[in-house]
Chains A and B, each alone.
Chain A
Amino acid sequence: MQSKAVEGFMKGPINPNNFVLQLPANYAQTLHKPTASIVIPAGQTLQNFTTKANGSGALATFSLPPGVSYPVQIPAGVTLQTSSGHLYKVNVPVMVTQAPASNRILPQPIQHVMEPREQVAPQGAVASVAPSAVLQTIPPPAADTYTPAAPSTTLLHPSEPQPVPHQQHLFLGQGGALQPPGALQPQLTLPAVPQPPPLPTPAPVTPDSPGDDEFTLDGIEFSPQPLDMSQPSPFAAQLSSGQACGGQLGAGREEVGQDGGGSLPVNAGEAKAQLVEPAKLEMDLMRDFNYNDLEALQQLDGACDSTSEEEAEEEEVEGGAGADEDEFLGMINAEALKALQEAEGSSEDDGSSSDSDALDDAVEEVEEDPLNSGDDVSEQDVPDLFDTDNVVVCQYDKIHRSKNRWKFYLKDGVMCFGGKDYVFSKAVGEAEW
């Protein structure tokens, strides 16, 4: 049961012809810097799109050349349209790749990414491609909270050249490491990317955020996109794992990230931007950015439980092992969507178990009575060990229990007892627990 959103996607190599680039009207103006640095493998056609965009005042449409093989870099502000008709709006420079099935990435808070939907007029179901980074400049004092709301225009159009004293620099979150929203704090001190001066975008209402989104993929470098930084990106901190180095941008860059800065070329394996299915994005838009999409996606059994926010924050702060790695801001692998959902339940438990081990002594509970690890709550005195060689392998007719009296009606089995094997067609047993 595959979502319709991904019906165009095949397991095999995706035909690049499926994608049609639609560029906004003023995209050309913003392109002068990135254009120079855009490197699209085997995409000589695309390199001309700047001129094309310049020529047309309206939306420019390009088709990816047939020879284009993945990964493909797509600068910000373009809209991708698949052959199936789905539209994906790229707000930040992304790298469209064909992700392996095992790579599960989730769209993280995308609500703000969806804002500039209106920018692209004709699209009905536009899902913004939520790449790793939404470039934003955030003034340090004010950047405590992430406000998903942002003027839509800001995302589309690069923010005007603000005299950004601080250089903030968002890391693209890609493929592998996904930082939980709690790790957004470091975003405040991200080094910014200098905005290209002639950007006619309206001043962002919300606090600036560095619009520099730069990531290096296999040596391919993306010059900083003058994306709008008006809204703090919840992705920002999360992107630290896939980090784009701002090295080429200039000096004075404080790189923030979980890994602590330094321009790190994104690992090829990690840097994958996936197209997000529109339905999923829309759903996520409504959520609080602190909302844990991973947990919201699937619960294998039982009703949706309200995982405490303290838990989520703990995980975020810890940068916890299992579950966090599987969370990815923005991109979900279209092909692996199903696999993601199935594996999610197990990953939750793995994450919870690893978290519990890690946090065992540290943060037990915030509630009334913390379960001290064995303090007053002693373990069961008699640990049951099933280190026995006496086993019965059989089928059962009925297993009955009354209080602590058990009765077993078994059939067709073999009992290994005292080193000897006994075969039976019927066996009756009684036991007291």
Chain B
Amino acid sequence: MKIDCVCTSWYASVRTLRPDSLMEANNDVALDIIITNVVSVFRTRCHLNLRTIALEGSNVIYKPEVGKVLMKLRKPRITASIWSSGKIICTGATSEEEAKLGARRLARCLQKLGFKVKFTAFKVVNVLAVCTMPFHIHLIQFTKNNRPIASYEPELHPAASYRIKNLKATVQVFSTGSITVTGPNVRHVAMAVEQIYPLLFECKSTMR
């Protein structure tokens, strides 16, 4: 079974961990992990005058009540929250490389505005990906099988949440077979999908 990450060139392969899995003869089921959001932060190491950015920058939204400026970029479609302390949070990228490129473009924009920015401490802090299983999932059975790690409260949220502690990743499992994975980086996200697939496969209810 292979897992593809759409929108990234990253490619990972997964082998079923259990030889007696109930998989059909066809072992090549492609699972597309689609990265929808990459959140990153970096610091400019210099104080930024938000008012100057708001007045002279392009594609900016000034939020004085919060104390930040949102700057949107088109090319890597990202939105950055800029604080006067020089900390910038960059959201909306679809890959880690894109996040870094967008962050650098943003720093370049600030540099053009006249600030002595330095591109330091860039770090991807969160990656959100979605994946669709080719089967539906029986959530109650899934929760029972993974009692302490999985939690399911249908009155609160229609998905069962499964936290993988060592990966620091959270997987939300929906009965339709779709799952969302959030983790600190893309690699952890992929590993989380690999890890959870067999567990989901056990509790599949119907084939799509």
Chain B's closest residue to A378 (CB) is B105
Among residues 59 to 104 in chain A, which have CB atoms less than 8 Å away from a CB atom of chain B?
Answer: none
**Contacts A352-B46, A376-B104 known; A384 to B58 CB distance under 8 Å?**
yes
Which one of A125-133, A134-142, A274-282, A362-370 contacts B? A362-370
The docked-state distance in angstroms from the alpha carbon of A302 to that of B47 is: 8
Minimum Cβ distance to chain A for residue B67 (Å): 7
Chain B's closest residue to A401 (CB) is B61
A313 at the interface (CB under 8 A from B): no
From A299, A302, A357, A373, B67 is in contact (CB under 8 Å) with A302
B73:A305 contact, CB within 8 angstroms:
no
A311 at the interface (CB under 8 A from B): yes
For A364, the chain B residues whose CB sits under 8 A away are 118
For A371, the chain B residues whose CB sits under 8 A away are 104, 107-108, 111, 117-119
From B49, B61, B121, B122, A300 is in contact (CB under 8 Å) with B49
A377 at the interface (CB under 8 A from B): yes
B105:A302 contact, CB within 8 angstroms:
no
From B74, B85, B116, A303 is in contact (CB under 8 Å) with B85
Chain B's closest residue to A346 (CB) is B49
Among residues 98 to 123 in chain B, which have CB atoms less than 8 Å away from a CB atom of chain A?
Answer: 104-105, 107-109, 111-112, 114-122
The docked-state distance in angstroms from the alpha carbon of A300 to that of B45 is: 17
Minimum Cβ distance to chain A for residue B115 (Å): 6
Most-contacted residue by chain B among A356, A368, A384, A401 (CB, 10 A): A356
A389 at the interface (CB under 8 A from B): no
A374:B52 contact, CB within 8 angstroms:
no
The docked-state distance in angstroms from the alpha carbon of A345 to that of B52 is: 11
B85:A377 contact, CB within 8 angstroms:
no
For A352, the chain B residues whose CB sits under 8 A away are 46, 114-116
Minimum Cβ distance to chain A for residue B60 (Å): 11
B75 at the interface (CB under 8 A from A): yes
A214 at the interface (CB under 8 A from B): no
Among residues 348 to 401 in chain A, which have CB atoms less than 8 Å away from a CB atom of chain B?
Answer: 348-349, 352-353, 355-357, 359, 364-371, 373-374, 376-382, 384, 401
Most-contacted residue by chain A among B48, B73, B119 (CB, 10 A): B119
For A402, the chain B residues whose CB sits under 8 A away are none
Chain B's closest residue to A356 (CB) is B116
Q: Mark B119-130, 1 if CB is under 8 A from A, else 0.
A: 111100000000
- What class of interface size applies to chain A in its complex with B? 35 or more
A425 at the interface (CB under 8 A from B): no
For B104, the chain A residues whose CB sits under 8 A away are 369, 371, 376-377
Chain A residues with CB under 8 Å of chain B are 295, 299-303, 305-308, 311, 345, 348-349, 352-353, 355-357, 359, 364-371, 373-374, 376-382, 384, 401, 404, 433
Minimum Cβ distance to chain B for residue A316 (Å): 14
From A301, A308, A345, B45 is in contact (CB under 8 Å) with A308
A368:B107 contact, CB within 8 angstroms:
no
A301:B108 contact, CB within 8 angstroms:
no
B72 at the interface (CB under 8 A from A): yes
**Contacts A367-B119, A367-B120 known; A302 to B46 CB distance under 8 Å?**
no
A345:B49 contact, CB within 8 angstroms:
yes
Minimum Cβ distance to chain A for residue B137 (Å): 30
The docked-state distance in angstroms from the alpha carbon of A374 to that of B109 is: 10
**Contacts A305-B84, A311-B46, A348-B47 known; A355 to B116 CB distance under 8 Å?**
yes
The docked-state distance in angstroms from the alpha carbon of A384 to that of B56 is: 12
Given contacts A301-B50, A307-B46, A348-B47, could you give 20 more A-B pairs where the C-beta distance is less than 8 Å?
A300-B51, A301-B84, A302-B48, A307-B47, A311-B45, A345-B49, A353-B114, A356-B111, A365-B119, A367-B118, A368-B120, A368-B122, A371-B107, A371-B117, A377-B108, A379-B108, A380-B75, A384-B58, A384-B59, A401-B61
For B67, the chain A residues whose CB sits under 8 A away are 301-302
User: Which 10 A-B pairs have CB atoms at the shortest separation, nearest pair first?
Assistant: A302-B84, A353-B114, A305-B47, A367-B120, A365-B118, A377-B108, A377-B104, A356-B116, A384-B58, A371-B119
For A377, the chain B residues whose CB sits under 8 A away are 104-105, 107-108
Chain A's closest residue to B107 (CB) is A371
A-B contact pairs, 11 of them (CB 8 A): A301-B84, A302-B67, A305-B85, A308-B118, A352-B115, A357-B114, A367-B118, A369-B104, A369-B120, A371-B104, A382-B74
